[in-house]
Amino acid sequence: MPDPLEHATGLERQELLAKAAGNEDPFDMKVYKRTSGELSNPTVIPSFYQSRIVGCICQEDSTTINWMWLTKGEPKRCECGYFFKLEDAKPMA
């Protein structure tokens, strides 16, 4: 059976190389727990891009997600009052 890494290109190859190096979440899709969420200490969300869509589960027992766009450099307040901020992500290993 051929090795998938030999045939992979582009993003798929980057993902396989990152996983081989021990990074199980190379595209940073994990769920982040909110911090205090104040303007002075927003929850930091890493991104390789200038903007990213983020979902906030405002109440712990909520069955809905409040989606919003974040852009780098400006903290954004969710409807529940928590602040989020987009910052540069570390390069993929």
Which pLDDT tens digit goes with each residue over 24-69? 887 777 777 778 889 999 999 988 889 999 999 998 898 999 999 9
CB within 8 A of 60, min separation 6: which ones? none
pLDDT at residue 31, rounded to an integer? 77
Average pLDDT of the chain to the nearest whole number: 88
Provide the token pair at 36: 């205090």
- All structural domains of the chain, each given as residue ranges with its CATH number in brackets, are 1-27 (no CATH), 31-93 (2.60.11.10)
Q: Between 92 and 52, whose confidence is greater?
A: 52
Question: According to the annotation, is 26 in a ligand binding site?
Answer: no
> Does the annotation list 53 as a binding residue?
no
- The reply to whether 78 sits in an annotated binding site is yes
Q: How many CB atoms lie within 10 A of CB 71?
A: 13
